[in-house]
Structure 1
Amino acid sequence: MKVEVAYALPHEQKIIALQVEEGCTAQQAVIRSGIVELFPEINPDSTPMGIFGKAIKDPGNTALRDGDRVEIYRPLIADPKEVRARRAAKMKAQKAAEAEKE
């Protein structure tokens, strides 16, 4: 069966298509894809993974289906909630400043 393994950095992404046997796990597909040689920061034993954007808890025991795309996740640089809160506060301050000018 055919699956893909994907990893993305801010300015680079790689999707590797490969053939695997029935019962292949997400972790096995990552190892067999050779993506670790391209991105040594990936540790198949501990790096978080998902299938089509849905996180999987145990990549070593999650069997893939034909057509699945295993996504390897990077740690977040900033908390998305915190970033949105800062952006909202900035917009609120800008609106207040514009209202004072009127």
Structure 2
Amino acid sequence: TITCGTTKYEPGPYSILSTENYAKINKAYQIIQKAFGSSGKDIPALSDTNTELKFTINKSNGNTNSNNGEEIVTKNNAQVLLEQASTIITTLNSA
């Protein structure tokens, strides 16, 4: 859990995010950001369900210089983007 000096708080509703919930939100955000591309013009037509996104999210535990990457492979279509947005909203509402 990332507490940033808030040691008297426990993760939960109306409090701080757990590391696990932060990771869920970050992963969903990274997928959405990758789908939009750097210019925001890379979003495919809604009927294009075959475009694939493939990228790596680098992770660090903060104590060492080693990074562990999680490879993400997903489709770039409206359904996947809505699922990722739902993950963010649901996690924030239930965290």
**Higher alpha-carbon Rg:** 1
TM-score by length of 2: 0.27
TM-score by length of 1: 0.25
Structure with the higher strand share, 1 or 2: 1
